[in-house]
Chains A and B, each alone.
Chain A
Amino acid sequence: MAREVHGMVEKRGAGLWLTHLFMILGVLVIFFPIWLAFVASTVTQPEIVRPPMPIWPGDQFWVNYKAALFSGVNVPVGTMLFNSLVMAIGIAVGKIIISLLSAFAIVYFRFPGRNIFFWMIFLTLMLPVEVRIVPTFEVVAGFGMLNSYSGLILPLIASATATFLFRQFFLTIPDELAEAARVDGARPMRFFVDIVLPMSRTNVAALFVILFIYGWNQYLWPLLITTDPEMNTIVMGIKQMFPSGDDVAEWPVIMATSILAMIPPVIVVVSMQRLFIRGLVDSEK
């Protein structure tokens, strides 16, 4: 991926410094809210509520994070983090699997009803879960899936974005490969496993990141369908720390929890960014 031209572009002195300057400014602005949240999670409540709040970290780090980790709202933060993790991975993996399979079927086969099925799937690009939430809730309840991971995951898998992207990608796989496989008498699934899957590796990675974040950040849906505190997710948990009436918000603990809630998705994005970017580049071609 590295291009020699970069060296050339970099060598120009003033321009280089200017570039760094812009970059640093950009990072400062973009990162500031998170920095502030971190600062708020290391100071005491009185320091926050009396303006102006400090912009450098204080010494209450352990106190606040201990409170966040071990008290929680209904259940400890650890439980909520685990639930979010299961939900996010479930949505990402589940959606990727069903999308790979159906995109493969649509691209590489001619079968009765293909057009109808494709349109059916494609229609689900519209109407996010928030808009059809009450009937969806009733369906999930009817299956006895309230307070279950399947209830958290399955309704959010019913959307076609991933299928559509895989279809686009499969269309760019050279026909010669399928032709060769057919001449060799390879079965379709053999071709799928040996050729298509390995070629889709970076796309899968990119989608995994996008879907993981999508699942992790869900708020309204988990709020409705988890009536058992043991099933609460972390984003829900943060919102629930806000008092509903006349009580005061405990900012340091709320902010500590917010920071904790950011860590897993940040790890996923940062650790997969190389693959993610390659996946995006590949699907560009």
Chain B
Amino acid sequence: MLPGSWMEKRVTFKGWLLPLLLIAPQVVISAIFFFYPAGQAVWQSLFIPDPFGLSARFVGLGNFEFLLSDKFYRASFVTTAVFSILVTLCSMIPALFLAVIADRLIKGSGVYRTLLIWPYAVAPAVAGVLWLFMFNTRVGVVSWYLGQLGYDWNHVLNGGEAMGLVVVASAWGRISYNFLFFFAALQAVPRSVIEAAAIDGAHFWRRFFTIVLPLLSPTTFFLLVVNIVYAFFETFGVIHTITAGGPQQSTTILVYKVFSDGFVGQDLGSSSAQSVILLVVVGLLTVIQFKFIEKRVHY
């Protein structure tokens, strides 16, 4: 059954050769660059290979046992959940707020919008550099001014501050992205609804929550899932640059561990096993995504 198969087209064209030709490029590319390598990763998770691929020892599920018996690996699930939720909240709430007030403006809204979407164009790896630059212990410009105010910023020792910093650095570019989606969604809200909400200025926000926000729920659900997936996978560049998973293990998220075990530790067996575990986790997330995206179609 296809996801949302009740949404099938009633009207279709005949023939089977043409659709096969049309779908072929994507299928071929997926097979070569996705399924074969992913299969390899699953296969490799059953071995302890040496880094150069010269030999490999079959260990069955040994790599999984090794991982799941490691309390730091288990802790990393919690870290990942905390990190992903924080990134999602910190990127969506300000974005929604900014989108709502941008939506209320005509004059100047273009200028604000243009400035607000810049961070989206900054690569996560570079964003990490920028934030580290500002928060370098004692010499970064922000931490220096904090020091003048009597606050001793030290994210290299304080796990909470480290988590805060990587969350903000990861969420920053996403605020722009989410802002664009929310802004677009608000523009699509029927004007009578906005009008009704706007009549009584003092209660704008209350009405916003009761009337406009529910209309944005498809977008919100969509962004929720997209941002969680982003926090899961695409933030490792930020963490790599700013904390390398530290202090202690306070910012070691799952995908960073895949990267660091595989590319710092050259332990491809463990790294592959972690990929497989991640695959399962993302599989679950995708099922959730289906539910929400299908729900979205009903609107």
Residues of A participating in the B interface, judged by any CB pair closer than 8 Å? 1-10, 12, 15, 19-20, 22-24, 26-27, 30-31, 33-34, 36-37, 40, 49, 51-53, 55, 97-99, 101-102, 104-115, 117-118, 120-128, 130-136, 138-140, 154-155, 157-160, 163-164, 168, 170-171, 175, 178-179, 182, 188-189, 191, 213, 216-220, 235, 238-239, 242, 251, 254, 258, 261-262, 265-266, 268-270, 273, 276-278, 280-281, 284-285
Task: Please name all residues of chain A whose beta carbon is closer than 8 Å to the beta carbon of B268 when the two chains form the complex.
Answer: 134
B125 adjacent to A121 (CB under 8 Å): no
Beyond A154-B33, A273-B114, 13 additional contacts (C-beta under 8 Å) are: A10-B107, A22-B101, A33-B172, A49-B139, A106-B19, A135-B37, A135-B38, A154-B32, A188-B18, A217-B124, A239-B125, A277-B180, A281-B187
Residues of B participating in the A interface, judged by any CB pair closer than 8 Å? 1-3, 7, 9-13, 15-16, 18-20, 22-23, 25-27, 29-38, 40-41, 44, 94, 97-98, 101-102, 104-108, 112-127, 129-131, 133-134, 138-141, 144-145, 172, 175-176, 180-181, 183-185, 187-188, 191, 194-195, 198, 201, 204, 218-219, 233-234, 236-237, 255, 258-259, 262, 268, 275, 278-279, 282-283, 286, 289, 293, 297, 299
B9 adjacent to A108 (CB under 8 Å): yes
Task: Please name all residues of chain A whose beta carbon is closer than 8 Å to the beta carbon of B187 when the two chains form the complex.
Answer: 1, 277, 281
Task: Please name all residues of chain B whose beta carbon is closer than 8 Å to the beta carbon of A107 when the two chains form the complex.
Answer: 9
Task: Please name all residues of chain A whose beta carbon is closer than 8 Å to the beta carbon of B233 when the two chains form the complex.
Answer: 128, 130-131
Task: Please name all residues of chain A whose beta carbon is closer than 8 Å to the beta carbon of B106 when the two chains form the complex.
Answer: 2, 6-7, 10
Nearest residue (CB) in A for B35 is A120
A30 adjacent to B172 (CB under 8 Å): yes
B172 adjacent to A117 (CB under 8 Å): no
Cross-interface CB contact of B12 among A15, A110, A160, cutoff 8 Å = A110
Task: Please name all residues of chain B whose beta carbon is closer than 8 Å to the beta carbon of A218 when the two chains form the complex.
Answer: 123
Cross-interface CB contact of A51 among B97, B120, B144, cutoff 8 Å = B144
Once A and B bind, how many residue pairs between them come within 8 Å at the CB atom?
309
Known A109-B16, A127-B278, A139-B32: A33·B130 in contact at CB below 8 Å: yes
A135 adjacent to B40 (CB under 8 Å): yes
B29 adjacent to A158 (CB under 8 Å): yes
Task: Please name all residues of chain B whose beta carbon is closer than 8 Å to the beta carbon of A159 when the two chains form the complex.
Answer: 34
B180 adjacent to A188 (CB under 8 Å): no
Task: Please name all residues of chain A whose beta carbon is closer than 8 Å to the beta carbon of B3 when the two chains form the complex.
Answer: 122
* Most A-side CB within 10 Å, residue of B34, B102, B175, B195: B34
